[in-house]
Structure 1
Amino acid sequence: MKSSRKNKFFLILTVFLLLGPFFAPPALAEDPSPDYSQKQNWLALAGAPDKEVDVFWVYPTVYQGKPLVAAIDDPQMRQAAMRTLTTQASVFAESANIFAPMYRQVQMAVLKMSVQDQEKYLDIGYKDIEKAFDYYLKDLNQGRPFILAGHSQGSDQLSKLIKKRLNDPDLKSKLVAAYIIGWSITRQDLESHPYLQLCASDRDTGCIITYNCVAAGKQKAAPTILPGAVVVNPLSWNLGGAAIAADQNLGAAIFADNGKTSMEPGFTGAQAVEGGLVVNPRDAAKLTSMPFGPGVYHNYDYALFYQNLKVNLERRIKAYLSRGK
């Protein structure tokens, strides 16, 4: 009996050792780090900046390839990332010069891993973002104030950048604002990094705007809403929890697949509730891209408040420039 149990144990152990690699996260295989002096490694590169302020844009999760980490020149990622220049980063285009690096992005499957394993993969893209930002500051910025802006995975990477780099007073003095939208800045983040501040009015500068759009009761369904998440309401531009009516919404942008765009004022109100920005679109049937399920309006974080973001950006830039005179 004892011999039989012993043999069974060694059989199980052998099978485990043989099959273990198939159940572990795939080994990391990094391509060479991008050279940001090469134009092809940028999604957008303002060749002749004609505005007083720049925006450093980091695009959201768009990669759908089979390797967990995209190659820097993956054609599907570039094509999808280009669309974010129209549907999201266009908010900044009239007021700022856009600089947007390509980066080795992870696909959504990584989000199903443990946090520890996630970070191993996400760190590849973060290295690219930090390298691109350093190149931008040294060779492209030419002393102009700048905005940091992203969405989803892009905002996650930017949140790491601001935690690591904005403790430099000289660098922070050049920041107009950081639009960390579609990801969470938490109370713990603010406590651990006291040099980070949330925007509390539409003219505050050197501060962070952050929110994640959901229907009422869907906060826990949104993987981008982390415990302790804080919210800046894009209809009031403050941290209060009051419900702001839809008549304060200057226009949501509805981008159709045929390339046409409609602007719809009063499309939704907004209220900060339990770490999420609760919205109530008057025609939710027009919002069809729901990767995290019904009621999680993640893909519309910019679109729902498109005109308010544009107007706010103009006011915030004006406030920043006036303080330098």
Structure 2
Amino acid sequence: MHFLPERFSRFINISRISALCGALFIFSAHLATASDTGELPPFTPADVPPAPDYAVASSWLDLPKNPDRFAVDIIWLYPTVLVDNSAWLMDITRKDLIAGAAESVATEARIFSGQANLYAPLYRQMNLAGFNLPEAERDAIVAYGEDDAKRAMAYYMEHYNKGRPFILAAHSQGSYVLTQLLVDYWGKLGIEDRLIAGYVVGWSLTRQDLKDNPAITICENALQTGCFVSYNSVAPGRQKASPLILPGAIVVNPLTWTREDTLAPASDNRGSTFFNKDHTYQILPGFASAQIADGGLAVVAKDPERLNSPFFPEGVYHGFDYPLFYENIMANASQRIQTYLAGRE
């Protein structure tokens, strides 16, 4: 399994974690600050919250009111929302954490939810501080979230899917968990022919991952189905500063949907979308270009100051992986859906 490289620890520590949530997205309004709760004690099995029961609606962040509204489904794994010092694992009954996760549905997953039936399981994700632990300790903690996601997807396939094609999408820790599941299980499930596409954004799918599981296919064009997209946004030359870009990272450019390293100009960008806390938003066409370089997606933005955060190194645009290319991703999801459905006629 892959974990964040050691350089992550230079930018994340327990005293700064609650603020980091704002850099990841707009969850900070829902979360307690680290200073309110003190230091996290060593993790023990007694600290493990009850496992979600996916037969119960309360174990889902979102379920469609009308599951037959769309011909396709999406499974969404939300990014890190457990960022205070209250626990090593997310208790899925905590209202503040549920509210934080719900922000990702209202913003990031909104790209897909307008064209697919949205299923978003709650899972016992690891506290962001866990990425600072030795590998064996990290492995023991993050395994709970991975097991939850695996069980949620199994329950979805058995009880909700009804043979429909589906999209897999995630961001940040959600993409980390999804990557582990893909490496371990993809190609062995018997559902692979129903995948429209997977958007594994804000984490690295690597050459080693593909070597470990050759059933994982990376998207090569905008209309390909059954494949996966991965990228991490940075300013040019800031790839080594990003803790999410792992050795051997494979990148798909969300403006061209290819792995070619030619520059996609800002004129190809249909619109970057920036959300406010009240869920109003502004769409800015032509805001940013994109070019694959050194394992990252190098972004030149018209207003780069808008993308920086004091909690990630300057030029690491992790919190804006989806917003920067929002309209292009939305259009691409529609393209792939229509291509897949046309192929079934």
TM-score, normalisation: structure 1: 0.90
Q: Which residue of 1 aligns with 2:289?
A: 269
Aligned to 2:197: 177
**d(CA) in 1 for partners of 2:204 and 2:135?**
15
Aligned residue type for 2:55: S
Equivalent residue, structure 2, for 1:41: 59
User: What's the Cα RMSD here?
Assistant: 1.7
Number of aligned pairs? 304
| Structure 1 residues without counterparts, runs of 5 or longer | 1-21
In structure 1, distance between residues paired with 2:110 and 2:308? 21
Relative contact order, higher structure (CA 8 A, sep 6+):
2
Whether the aligned pair in 2 keeps the contact of 1:290 and 1:298 (CA below 8 Å) is: no
> Structure 2 stretches of 5 or more lacking a match?
1-38
Does 1:113 pair with 2:130?
A: no
Of 57, 73, 85 in structure 1, the residue corresponding to residue 76 of structure 2 is: 57
1:31 maps to amino acid: P
Question: 1:150-190: CA deviations, max 9, x gaps?
Answer: 00000011112222232137311011111100000001111
Q: CA deviation at 1:217?
A: 1.9
TM-score w.r.t. the length of structure 2 is 0.85
Structure 1 pair 299–141 and aligned structure 2 pair: CA distance change class (3 A):
same
Which deviates the most, 216-225 or 265-274? Answer: 216-225
Counterpart amino acid of 1:39? A
Give, as a single letter, the amino acid of the residue that structure 1 aligns with 2:119.
Answer: F
Matched-pair contact (CA < 8 Å) for 2:308–2:317: no
Alpha-carbon distance in structure 1 between the residues aligned to 2:341 and 2:289: 30
The amino acid of 1:52's aligned partner reads A
The CA distance in 2 between the partners of 1:245 and 1:163, in whole Å, is 33
Question: What residue is the counterpart of 2:181 in the other structure?
Answer: 161
Deviation at 1:24, TM superposition (A): 9.1
Quote the sequence identity (%).
Answer: 38
Partners of 2:43 and 2:249 in 1: CA distance? 31
Describe the SS at the equivalent of 1:173: helix
Cross-structure match for 1:208:
228
1:323 aligns with 2:343: yes
Relative distance call for 1:289 and 1:258 in structure 2 (3 A) is farther
Higher alpha-carbon Rg = 1
Q: Which of 131, 143, 168 is residue 151 of structure 2 equivalent to?
A: 131
Q: C-alpha separation between the residues in 1 aligned to 2:314 and 2:136? A: 28
Which residue does the alignment assign to 2:26? none
1:257 aligns with 2:277: yes
Could you tell me which residue of structure 2 aligns to residue 189 of structure 1? 209
Q: Which residue does 2:16 correspond to in 1? A: none
Distance 1:290 1:143 in 2: 45
Structure 2 partner of 1:91:
111
Shift of 1:290: 5.5
Note the alpha carbon deviations across 1:90-129, whole angstroms, 9 max, x for none: 0001211100001111121111112332221111101110
Indicate which of 213, 220, 238 corresponds to 1:218: 238
Distance 1:204 1:290, change over 3 A: farther
Q: Pick the aligned partner of 2:325 from 296, 305, 309.
A: 305
**Which of 254-263 and 186-195 deviates more?**
254-263
